[in-house]
Amino acid sequence: MARPSNSVWVTGARIRTLPAAIAPVLVATALAGSDFHLLPALLALIVSLSLQVGVNYANDYSDGVRGSDDNRVGPVRITAGGLASPAAVRRAAFISFFIASVAGLILSAMSAWWLIAVGVLSIAAAWGYTGGKNPYGYLGLGEVFVFIFFGLVATVGTYYVQAEKITGQAILAGTIVGFLACAILVINNIRDRALDSEAGKKTLAVRIGDHNSRLLYSTLIVSPFILTIGFATPWTLLTLLALPRTISILRTLWTGALGRTLIPILAKTGELQILFCLALSLALILQRLV
């Protein structure tokens, strides 16, 4: 097999999912306020992005070798599509995890050594999503992983390495980010539900059905607007800037969009997450400045 081009690796990294890695760092750093420290924030961003890219490559590799991606509705996967060898894709995943580990070790040395254990669990969870003998992504537990690690852990962890404490607001911020990150996975699994069922991949969407999955998705993207009340500042009304996009997404979702027609919603959900988190971050900054 010829050496894959750079564009192949960009495809495998799934750029549209990266807002899920940027959002927690953005919100947590804004929440840190006067406790902001540039180097820990940058290292936390490297960890988050590397884990996101790593789990994307790991998912591409594992689903590819299992044959779960042989008949896809969404964008091509590089293993199943023969764009790169399984060994090369697996190596890309390990390189991404290694980068996350190095940045995480530096963060741990700067703040608390127990963060190493958190990092190990994060990488194990990233690989175990579709890798190993009993991948939990095939058992309908993928959303749990995303909520915990790309919501709570990423947000609270980023806040901790800057402020050196854990607060209720940090947990609230992690919950909001986690809901929006979960929405990205839910809409992805709604799109692939029929084929995943045929392949024996029992995602949450397969387990609870199409209608309930759409209800779950709707709850996940609407709840953050309500949860911002917990920050007790009128500045969080800025998040309403994301409401028109939310309504547009829900209108498309509930008009019966299926299969490929759901692909634009996946991209728009990533955009919604970053837009909402930008507005929330600005609100948290203005809360302290005004």
Full DSSP string of 91-138: HHHHHHHHHHHHHHHHHHHHS-TTHHHHHHHHHHHHHHTT-SSS-GGG
pLDDT > 70: percent of the chain: 97
Integer Cα distance of 166 and 217 in angstroms: 28
> Is 290 a domain residue?
no
The residue that leads in pLDDT, 231 or 264, is 231
> Is 114 a domain residue?
yes
Integer Cα distance of 72 and 219 in angstroms: 27
> Is 4 a domain residue?
no
Find the distance separating the first CA and the last CA of the chain, reported in whole Å: 59
At residue 256, the pLDDT reads 78
Crossing angle for the helix pair 168-191 and 154-163, to the nearest 10 degrees: 150
SS3 76: coil
Q: Which two tokens stand for residue 65?
A: 């070798």
Mean pLDDT (the chain) is 91
- CATH number of the domain where residue 52 is located: 1.10.600
> What is the number of domains present in the chain?
1
Q: Is it the case that residue 1 has pLDDT exceeding 60?
A: no
Q: Which domain holds residue 82?
A: 16-285
At residue 12, the pLDDT reads 87
Q: Is it the case that residue 2 has pLDDT exceeding 60?
A: no
> Is 249 a domain residue?
yes
> Is 1 a domain residue?
no
The pTM of this model reads 0.92
> Is 10 a domain residue?
no
Do residues 164 and 110 touch, judged by C-beta distance below 8 A? no
> Is 6 a domain residue?
no
pLDDT tens per residue across span 139-181: 889 999 999 999 999 999 999 999 999 999 999 999 999 999 9
> Is 50 a domain residue?
yes
